[in-house]
Amino acid sequence: MGSKKEFEEKQRHGTVELPVGLHKMEYPEGTEMIFYLHWHQEFEFLVLTKGEILFTIEDREYELHEGDCVFINANFLHSAKTMNGRACSFFAVDFSYAVLEEDIHSAFYKKYIRPILHERHKLVEFLPADSEWGPHKELPSAMDGIYEIDHFMDEFAGRPHLSWQKEVIYNLAIISRCPEHELESYELLVRSRILNIWNLMYHHGEAKKKNRLEENTVSGRLIPVISYMKENYSYEITLAELAGIIPMSEGQFCRVFKQNMKMSPMQYLLRYRILQSCRLLQETEKKVGEIANLTGFNNISYFNKVFLKTIGCTPKEYRHTVTSEYY
């Protein structure tokens, strides 16, 4: 997506031996942004333990309440902000595919990891909480020892009424009880929980029905359309223009584009324009109104509205906070 590279989070989570990061965060009342738009190469699970937040993954929005969980695939843009400025807290587990399988040529990787990374097998992004077994439920501490935690988990897993989503959240809660900076001391526990989580997520995911040849053929037809957008984003572009490049009817073009790009043509164009405006806000001292015009927005109010929805803050706020860390 053009300048998406500049939104990459540079921090790597965990260590070479155990590429898993655990982050426990709290935000006081009055906080608006939790973290700005960014992406990273690791998978991530985030569980909200207090408050309410609005979580964005690419062009999809989820309202999270206490105990809810989201899964963010590797390389997906995401951001979060509070709702009504209430105090909130969460824990996040970020991990590289290497914690599951290091060898990218193995049968395991080809079957259970690569399809997720390439979205040929889609995992559920939103996992709802459970009032009885959410992360606020008192769990044994990791300091109590692995036996006590395993025993408690066995009791939990034996309850037939529990959904697979609740079991995922519970396994994440078990990991969250480990000390943030001492995960290697609990490597077997962490790896076993992540494998269990991946098993649940994979088997409740959805495989795409299109074969790879068909996908590549359709995606290839969109290449000139994407190139045209990137070369002419600063000018007015109509849906009829884009559809005529292939050519297709506008309705058919919109369906094909959304199936492949996960958003409509106009959403993609707006996102690209906003990402270009972010580059100008960082690299130049041009006024916001001028940047809006240079990136295809004739109306500064509309530019501000789209920017806020896409990035999570106003252009002026972004210019002053682009060096902020996400966690």
Question: What does 53-99 look like in DSSP terms, one character per residue?
Answer: EEEEETTEEEEE-TT-EEEE-TT--EEEEESTT--EEEEEEEE-GGG
* Distance separating alpha carbons of residues 41 and 177, to the nearest angstrom: 24
* Distance separating alpha carbons of residues 29 and 82, to the nearest angstrom: 9
Which has the higher per-residue pLDDT, 218 or 317? 317
Nearest CA to 265 out of 281, 280, 252, 284 is that of 252
**Length of the chain in terms of residues written:** 327
Domain that holds residue 305: 212-321
The per-residue pLDDT for 208 is 72
Same domain, 180 and 274: no
The per-residue pLDDT for 14 is 81
The per-residue pLDDT for 258 is 84
Mean pLDDT of the chain: 84
The tokens for 288 are 């916001």
Please give the biggest Cα pair distance in the chain: 65
Boundary-marking domain end, from 207, 236, 262: 207
* Distance separating alpha carbons of residues 163 and 124, to the nearest angstrom: 14
Given a cut of 70, whether residue 130 has pLDDT beyond it is no
The per-residue pLDDT for 179 is 93
Confidence of residue 133 (pLDDT cuts 50, 70, 90): very low
Please name the amino acid found at residue 287: K
The per-residue pLDDT for 75 is 86
Judge if pTM exceeds 0.85.
no
The per-residue pLDDT for 136 is 47
Confidence of residue 290 (pLDDT cuts 50, 70, 90): very high
The per-residue pLDDT for 265 is 93
Boundary-marking domain end, from 207, 241, 274: 207
Given a cut of 80, whether residue 142 has pLDDT beyond it is no
Given a cut of 50, whether residue 303 has pLDDT beyond it is yes
Given a cut of 90, whether residue 237 has pLDDT beyond it is yes
Q: How many domains does the chain contain in total?
A: 2
* Distance separating alpha carbons of residues 189 and 200, to the nearest angstrom: 17
The tokens for 107 are 């049968």
Domain contains 326: no
The number of helices, as runs of H, and strands, as runs of E, in the chain is: 12, 11
* Distance separating alpha carbons of residues 197 and 178, to the nearest angstrom: 17
> What distances in angstroms separate CA 195 from CA 45, 93, 189, 198, 219, one per listed residue?
13, 13, 10, 5, 32
The per-residue pLDDT for 1 is 39
Same domain, 196 and 236: no
The per-residue pLDDT for 145 is 47
Q: Are 153 and 197 in contact (CB under 8 A)?
A: no
Same domain, 25 and 158: yes
| Span 312-326, average pLDDT | 73
The per-residue pLDDT for 325 is 43
Same domain, 186 and 243: no
Per-residue pLDDT tens over the stretch 16-31: 789 999 999 999 999 9
| Span 270-281, average pLDDT | 90
Given a cut of 80, whether residue 53 has pLDDT beyond it is yes
45 SS3 class = strand
The owner of tokens 């994407």 is 226
| Span 282-299, average pLDDT | 93
The per-residue pLDDT for 154 is 52
Domain contains 171: yes
Same domain, 57 and 140: yes
9 CB-contact burial (10 Å; exposed 0-12 / middle 13-18 / buried 19+): middle
Within 8 A by CB and 6+ apart from 112, the residues are 100, 101, 198, 202
Per-residue pLDDT tens over the stretch 159-217: 555 689 999 999 999 999 999 988 989 999 999 999 999 999 999 999 876 544 444 54
Same domain, 57 and 170: yes
260 CB-contact burial (10 Å; exposed 0-12 / middle 13-18 / buried 19+): middle
* Distance separating alpha carbons of residues 167 and 156, to the nearest angstrom: 8
Given a cut of 50, whether residue 146 has pLDDT beyond it is no
* Distance separating alpha carbons of residues 45 and 255, to the nearest angstrom: 30
Domain contains 115: yes
